[in-house]
Amino acid sequence: MSTTKRVLNLERLRQVPEHFSWLDHRLVREHYIEKADVSTWALYLFLVTVADAQGLSYYADATLSRRLGLHPSRLAQARRDLIGLGLVAYDPPLYQVLGLPEAVPIATRLARLHAVLGDRP
């Protein structure tokens, strides 16, 4: 049995805000969400929420720690995780939420693999 999608509350239908957009669904589809813990995603959500249209914001570590309920060392690790995933750039105190890199199409990946392997069976 499949579920039919329907709007449940027309008065509260989400609209894209003028100042920014929603989270990219590729965070789930391309398994980014599985590569970090809840604290890292809490920081990411906060940064996405407060960023301007260019993804920029500047919050002090003390403020972020307090607002997110994270110990300063955990905040630092969350930031390193986001940088490592290529989702955030950081030059204290400035953060920039980065767009997700474009996924490489499967045909391109297969062609690259074929080029590396050559004619090997």
Domains of the chain by residue range: 14-117
Q: What is the mean pLDDT of the chain?
A: 86
Q: pTM of the full predicted structure?
A: 0.73
Query: For residue 120, is pLDDT > 90?
Result: no
pLDDT of 39-73, one tens digit each? 999 999 999 999 887 889 999 999 999 999 999 99
For residue 57, give the 3-state DSSP assignment: strand
Instruction: Quote the pLDDT of residue 17.
Output: 62
Residue-wise DSSP of 52-68: -TTSEE---HHHHHHHH
CATH architecture of the domain formed by 14-117:
Orthogonal Bundle (1.10)
